[in-house]
Amino acid sequence: MMRVRTVHPFSGLVLLMAILVGLAGCSTTAVLTPTVAPLDSEKYAAIVVDAGSGKVLYQNASSEPRYPASLTKMMTLYLLFEAVDSGRIAPTGAIPVSAYAASRPPSKLGLKAGRSIDVQTAILALCVKSSNDVATAVAEYLGGSEERFGAMMTAKARQLGMRSTTFRNASGLPDSEQVTNARDMAILATALQKRFPHHYHVFANRSFSYGGKKIRGHNRLLGRVDGVDGIKTGYIRASGYNLATSAARDGRRIIVIVMGGKSAKSRDAHVEELIEIYLPRAARTAGFPGG
């Protein structure tokens, strides 16, 4: 990913904060008239955001509480990227695996207690496989315990302007107190792109190798819908099928969050429809990842 122009070292941060403030204060008054029928689900919520300007192009129940499921791992990755960039953990470092981490239910990589996983594989496992065992191992390594890491995640959420999100675990496994909304997930997806353009490419991976096996991912829009380059799927029974998606074409980029689908297929079709309608309405923005 190549920068197309030289900018003041603080300009990117200023733009990010402006976008996040705009998202945090968004209301339906600034939203274009919806032209897409919502999914037939009581758990449904959605938002489409111009990633360059922060303008909300579409929303439906975007501020209503929802369960994040594995969209949670976007924040786990945010804190892991921060730890790598700060030197707290080396890119080639190893993350130990506790018995508790190894015992987490699927989706999982199948880590063994007492072993370790290297940082780059951990990142890929979180992005592609959505591995709950890896998420817990990362949480324990960076936070000392998953409970403390959940508090760190929530504190970072507040710092980013995610006012309605509380994290209790690093994976998104069921917890009645782990809640968010579509707007907050859009803030987080935007922050990942803006804050970590040098890491963001990992979200475009559809598979990776581990233990001599090819591990395939869950995001069926990657490679199928032009311009889609991430970012995260999620599902638990309480949440329905969630998807945070980023798509870029012709210098335009949008973030699409859809939560509460009744099936992965219907969710994916809805996200694709939102992309086709709203991506052409986004403004062209030079120097944005993939834009």
From the CB of residue 137, how many other CB atoms can be counted at a distance below 10 Å? 28
Element (H, E) at 207: strand 207-210
Tokens 């191992």 belong to: 137
Identify whether the C-beta of residue 60 lies closer than 8 Å to the C-beta of residue 27: no
Q: Exposed e or buried b for every residue in 232-241, given b needs 16+ CB within 10 A?
A: bbbbbeebbb
Continuous H helices in 167-286: 182-195, 264-278
Which parts of the chain fold into alpha helices (H)? 11-24, 73-86, 99-102, 119-124, 132-143, 146-160, 182-195, 264-278
Give the active site residues: 70, 73, 130
Query: What letter represents residue 288's amino acid?
Result: F
Residues 6 or more apart in contact with residue 29 via CB below 8 angstroms: none
The H or E element that residue 95 is part of is: strand 94-96
